Amino acid sequence: MPESPLKEPAQQAVLTALGNGLFAVLRPEERLALAGHARLRAFAKGEVLFREGQESADPAFLLSGLVKLSRSAPRGRECVLHLVRPGRLLDAGVLFYEGGLPASAMGVREGRLLWLDKRALLAVLRGNAALGLGLIAALSLRQRLFINKLAGSQGRISASRRVAAWLLHRSKMEKTDALDLGVSREILARLVGISRESLSRELSQLAANGLISVERRRLLLLDRAGLQKLADS
């Protein structure tokens, strides 16, 4: 649960954080209004931040660490929906969900969160069109990923297409061709929607074709055009 209201120097750290990413378009008075209702929280690896079916949650902005969003699947299996990295909201949809939350959030690497008051953020959204458009863009991009995953689970998108599209998405989001995968291949495979063996096989094939290079948990995109052609095939 959120902790006590922010004090100096944490207040300044929060104001700085709210000047980046999605919140870079905030006016000074809007940033102050959000920071005044914010709560900082550290979390550990493996700690559950909210659970699928939970009635509600405030929006949370990830400052450091890594968080996975997942949903329970048949036979007790876990479906990893998304890996959230610093500078992004865990799930902007909590602003609008009705009924229970559709996914759980768990720390993959320890870090810090900034919980934002839902009513305060909605009030800012009503007066800041640029922030609203940025939020819509973020939600649309995540929706596209989920649609691709659903199509893949129904056999409409091959494993090679899914892996190529996911690598290009990661590169676009992080604005770099050098990717730190940061998690085990088991988690990555669940994220892409294929088996661990299939993921290893696809990465090896992409490397053999000169599209990427792989070293432990680091990966470099060598041929973006080739990956795009594969993703679109």
pTM value is 0.70
Residue 78 has pLDDT above 90, yes or no: no
Q: What is the pLDDT of residues 192-214, one digit of tens each?
A: 878 889 888 999 999 999 999 98
pLDDT mean over 2-27: 73
List Cβ neighbours of 28 (8 Å cut-off, separation of 6 or more). none
pLDDT mean over 218-232: 90
pLDDT score for 155: 57
Residue found by looking up tokens 């209702």 in the block: 37
Cα–chain-centroid distance for residue 113?
A: 13
Residue 186 has pLDDT above 90, yes or no: no
pLDDT mean over 48-67: 91
Six-digit token string for 125: 């959204």
15 band by pLDDT with thresholds 50, 70 and 90: confident
Q: What is the pLDDT of residues 80-133, one digit of tens each?
A: 888 898 888 999 888 888 878 989 999 999 999 999 999 999 999 999 999 999
Q: How many CA atoms lie within 13 A of 56 on its CB side?
A: 9
pLDDT score for 6: 47
pLDDT score for 2: 45
Residue 157 has pLDDT above 80, yes or no: no
156 band by pLDDT with thresholds 50, 70 and 90: low
76 band by pLDDT with thresholds 50, 70 and 90: low
List Cβ neighbours of 9 (8 Å cut-off, separation of 6 or more). none
Is the Cβ–Cβ distance between 15 and 7 less than 8 Å?
no
Is the Cβ–Cβ distance between 44 and 107 less than 8 Å?
yes
DSSP state of 89: B
**Mean pLDDT over the full length of the chain:** 85
